[in-house]
Amino acid sequence: MRGRFAPSPTGDLHPGNARTALLAWLQVRAAGGTFVMRVEDLDRGRVRPGLMEAQLLDLRWLGLDWDEGPDVGGPHAPYLQSQRQDRYEDALGRLGEKGHLFACGCSRKDIAAASSAPHAGDDEGPRYPGSCRDLSAGELRGRQHALRFRAPAKPVAFTDLVHGPVVYKPADETGDFVVRRKDGVASYQLAVVVDDSAMEITHVLRGADLLPSTARQILLYRALGLAEPAWLHVPLLLGPDGERLSKRHGSVALREIREAGAEPEALVGWLAATCGLAEPGEACTPHELIGRFSAGDLSRESTLLSAPGESSTGGNAPQEAFGTLPREGQSDE
């Protein structure tokens, strides 16, 4: 087994990121496999200097380690996506030769104005209406353009090791999707497929918010003639309003938790308890959880956290789980 965690250095890691990283690490360590750390830093406009190093420090503080990565090297280097553009260009060339791609000069505003379809549920935006699908290269001459993958009409079925059988139809849900942005940078959908294949990742464990992306990625795996990994999409940590945990819920970054003096075992135990791997209030290290991990026992339901001061079956907000942490808007005293 080869698994990975792939953070983006565009913001501090939060408890939700930490839980996914912990589960990905546990899955690999329980199987005696290889754990890979890859940094997804393609969005150069949002990447913050020094944040990658800070994220890796936070993960090591939790007690996680990795066998390959940007700070330890490995046989599949480089482990920063910004240094792998030649691999993406090669994949784009192969897709283009097979007739899977077309140039598109539409902006997101153009697509939104032309489409009344619902949002795709991720960063793909509204369904692409096919405006440029049949244009000739000459009709886009002089215009900056992206490259889109022609989504076939048939549905894509796969089995997720947490959610079971899943079926999506990208042609109806997102339409033809971007594989190279207008600025020439590979899209997430393409880069993650190329890198997971090149790094021989056998099991992709990530948050359930990325489940809709899987069908598009499977289309790319098949078009490129690559072997598909096994998929595990784990539940998310949600605030009391059902939205992803964030500052407005009083959530704190791992860096803040660490700098506030919390013990990492307390955080690991709390994260493990939210997905049934530990008892409430139990403190433990990641290594102590290895024997408890089973993908089949993970819930399909997200964890709904209570607001500070409220009780909930889902679990307390992170600050209350560690007493030493100040709530947002309060002083450290």
One domain for residues 94 and 179 = yes
Q: What is the pLDDT of residues 60-84, one digit of tens each?
A: 999 999 999 999 999 999 999 999 9
Q: Answer with the one of 185, 203, 234 that is the final residue of a domain.
A: 234
Q: What is the pLDDT of residues 224-259, one digit of tens each?
A: 999 999 999 998 887 777 776 665 555 689 999 999
What is the mean pLDDT of the segment spanning 298-304?
Answer: 79
Q: What is the pLDDT of residues 31-66, one digit of tens each?
A: 999 999 999 999 988 999 999 999 999 999 999 999
Is the pLDDT score of 310 beyond 80? no
pLDDT-derived band of residue 314, with 50, 70 and 90 as boundaries? very low
**221 CB-side CA count, 13 A:** 21
Q: Identify the CATH number of the domain in which residue 305 sits.
A: 3.40.50.620
Q: Is residue 7 part of a domain?
A: no
Both structure tokens of 106: 């539409």
**Strand 101-104 and strand 164-168: pairing?**
unpaired
Give the integer Cα–Cα distance in Å for 174 and 32: 38
Q: How many domains does the chain have?
A: 2
pLDDT-derived band of residue 107, with 50, 70 and 90 as boundaries? confident
Helix (H) / strand (E) element for 332: namely none
Is the pLDDT score of 220 beyond 50? yes
Please, which residues have CB within 8 angstroms of residue 7's CB and are 6 or more apart in sequence?
13, 17, 21, 39, 40, 52, 55
Q: Which backbone phi and psi does 136 adopt, to 5 degrees? A: -85, 160
Is the pLDDT score of 21 beyond 80? yes
The answer to whether residue 247 is catalytic is: yes
What is the mean pLDDT of the segment spanning 324-332?
Answer: 31
Determine how many CB atoms are found less than 10 A away from the CB of residue 124. 22
Is the pLDDT score of 105 beyond 80? yes
- Structural domain for 270, as ranges: 16-80+235-321
Q: Answer with the one of 234, 268, 288 that is the final residue of a domain.
A: 234
Give the integer Cα–Cα distance in Å for 171 and 152: 6
CB 157 within 8 A of CB 196: no
Q: Answer with the one of 188, 204, 234 that is the final residue of a domain.
A: 234
Query: How much of the chain exceeds pLDDT 90, in percent?
Result: 68
Is the pLDDT score of 317 beyond 70? no
Is the pLDDT score of 304 beyond 90? no
Both structure tokens of 305: 């956290």
For the chain, give percent helix, strand, coil, nearest 5. Answer: 35, 15, 50
Q: Which backbone phi and psi does 256 adopt, to 5 degrees? A: -65, -40
Give the integer Cα–Cα distance in Å for 237 and 302: 6
What is the per-residue pLDDT for 327? 31
Residues composing the chain:
333
**Strand 230-234 and strand 203-207: pairing?**
parallel
Q: Is residue 6 part of a domain?
A: no
Is the pLDDT score of 204 beyond 90? yes
What is the per-residue pLDDT for 333? 32
pLDDT-derived band of residue 315, with 50, 70 and 90 as boundaries? low
One domain for residues 256 and 194 = no
CA angle (70 as vertex; 54, 202 as ends), nearest 5:
115
One domain for residues 228 and 159 = yes
pLDDT-derived band of residue 108, with 50, 70 and 90 as boundaries? confident
Task: Report the 3 state secondary structure along 27-83.
Answer: HHHHCCCEEEECECCCCCCCCCCCHHHHHHHHHHHHCCCCCEECCCECCCCCCEHHH
Which tops the pLDDT comparison, 119 or 281?
281
Both structure tokens of 230: 């096994």
Which tops the pLDDT comparison, 136 or 11?
11
Q: Is residue 198 part of a domain?
A: yes
Q: Where are the beta strands (DSSP E) in 117-273?
A: 146-149, 156-160, 164-168, 177-180, 203-207, 230-234, 237-238
What is the per-residue pLDDT for 156? 98
CA angle (24 as vertex; 236, 123 as ends), nearest 5:
50
One domain for residues 271 and 207 = no
C-alpha distance from residue 168 to each of 173, 213, 215 (Å)? 8, 9, 6
One domain for residues 113 and 170 = yes
Determine how many CB atoms are found less than 10 A away from the CB of residue 63. 18
Catalytic residue among 98, 109, 182, 247: 247
